[in-house]
Structure 1
Amino acid sequence: MKSVNSPSAPADTSLMAIEGRIMVIRSQKVIIDADLAFLYGVPTKRLNEQVKRNIERFPSDFMFALTQAEKVEVVANCDHLAKLKFTKAMPFAFTEHGAIQAANVLGSLQAIQMGVYVVRSFVRSREMLVAHRLPHVPSEPSASFLSQAN
């Protein structure tokens, strides 16, 4: 089993595998820095170094640090992030825009290629959410549907 800090590429780059790493924190869909680093093929430390060097590219709606309570909840709910339990630093959470910006500041071919998959995963998860929220509208309106519209 690979460490979350493994610099090698993940074996399974399917959208579903990436979607499994996307979670909702503070009512936003995000991916934790350790997962993003794994997908981009760099150690988490290197990802965070590059982000800090380019912090002006990461406003609060692109990235934020977790609180201690959020970190505890993430560790409790995500077995693959169990190692975060032992780190003093608070993990960063990246939104869709932050994830693509991270790929840009890393600049490696793998980060840029995986960034496309990560964005597609965010888009797909958003589309699935919208599909579940929308009421079903029949393709051909029935008589009762038309009478309600008038």
Structure 2
Amino acid sequence: MSSNSITIPDEIITDKIYLIRNQKVMIDRDLADLYNVETKVLKQAVKRNIERFPNDFMFTLSKEEFDNLRSQFVTSSWGGSRYLPMVFTE
């Protein structure tokens, strides 16, 4: 392992995992935060390499799924994204 690698505490990761469609997933913005990149950069990389992301590894939330997820939070930290989030399975 490289001496430049950073270990992320398990509790930080587990706090960002949600159960959607009976799958444990991480939302694109949380995954981007972990990699220290903008969400749009992550999404562009996925779109450029879509063949590497099968449906059982990544999918886009429906509006209803997104609304249900967003309603679980007391304060809205979701901003005004124009696009529905992608989620990635473990």
Instruction: Report the TM range for the smaller structure's normalisation.
Output: 0.7 to 0.9
Q: Structure 2 residue aligned with 1:89, among 66, 80, 83?
A: 83
Q: Structure 1 residue aligned with 2:34, among 35, 39, 45?
A: 39
If you compute each CA radius of gyration, which structure gives the higher value, 1 or 2? 1
Identify if the C-alpha distance between structure 1 residues 80 and 14 changes in structure 2 by more than 3 Å, giving closer, same or farther: farther
The gaps in structure 2 that reach 5 residues or longer are 1-6
Whether the 8 Å CA contact 1:76–1:82 is kept in 2: the answer is no
Whether the 8 Å CA contact 1:23–1:29 is kept in 2: the answer is yes
Whether the 8 Å CA contact 1:74–1:81 is kept in 2: the answer is no
Number of aligned positions between the proteins: 84
What's the offset of the Cα at 1:79?
5.6
What's the offset of the Cα at 1:13?
2.7
The CA RMSD over aligned residues, in Å, is 1.9
- The equivalent residue for 1:146 is none
Judging by fraction of residues, say which structure has more helix.
Answer: 1
Q: Which has the higher contact order (CA 8 A, sep 6+)?
A: 2
Identify if the C-alpha distance between structure 1 residues 26 and 71 changes in structure 2 by more than 3 Å, giving closer, same or farther: same
- The equivalent residue for 2:10 is 15
The gaps in structure 1 that reach 5 residues or longer are 1-11, 97-150
TM-score of the superposed pair, with normalisation by structure 1:
0.52
What's the offset of the Cα at 1:41?
0.5
